[in-house]
Amino acid sequence: MATVLHKEFIIERDDYDNAGNASSRIKQTLAQLGVPSPILRRIAVAAYEAEINMIIHAWGGKITVDVDDTGKIRIEFRDPGPGIPDLSKALTPGWSTASPKARELGFGAGMGLPNIKRVSDDFDIKSSPEGTTLTLGFNAL
């Protein structure tokens, strides 16, 4: 299994002006590799939701995208904190800890993680006060 693509994107805390830029670039890059549209749509939803979560809730972070020659796409979202205090609540549709600022901007409906989990082929999340790592997998073939 060889890596066909490796990309990294840095996300800044509270950078609402650039919200969605990384997920849009991920979608464009994968489209150039020939990933089918139905899979691209699912990846776009997951990447956007996770990117927004990093902007709203985390202290920034890094997104890593890897594609191997079997068509497996792995996207990792890693932030340095503050972590998710209650993962089971965070995975409950409608539950949110978004700030008033995020809500004013139209974010924070509490559907991010539930939507990400729904559209991903593989979903793994680990969180502590030292940070959160969300790893998603998609089968492009």
Specify the pTM. 0.93
Domain boundaries along the sequence of the chain: 3-139
Beta carbons of 63 and 51 less than 8 angstroms apart: yes
Beta strands at 72-79 and 3-11: parallel, antiparallel or unpaired:
unpaired
- Chain centre to alpha carbon of residue 66: 14
Output the average pLDDT for the chain. Answer: 93
Coil, helix or strand for 93?
coil
**CA geometry: angle at 56 spanning 131 and 16, to 5°?**
130
Kindly report the CATH class assigned to 3-139.
alpha beta
Is-cis flag, bond preceding 82, omega within 30?
yes
Q: What is the pLDDT of residues 31-83, one digit of tens each?
A: 999 999 999 999 999 999 999 999 999 999 999 999 999 999 999 999 999 99
Residue 131 confidence class, pLDDT cut points 50, 70, 90: very high
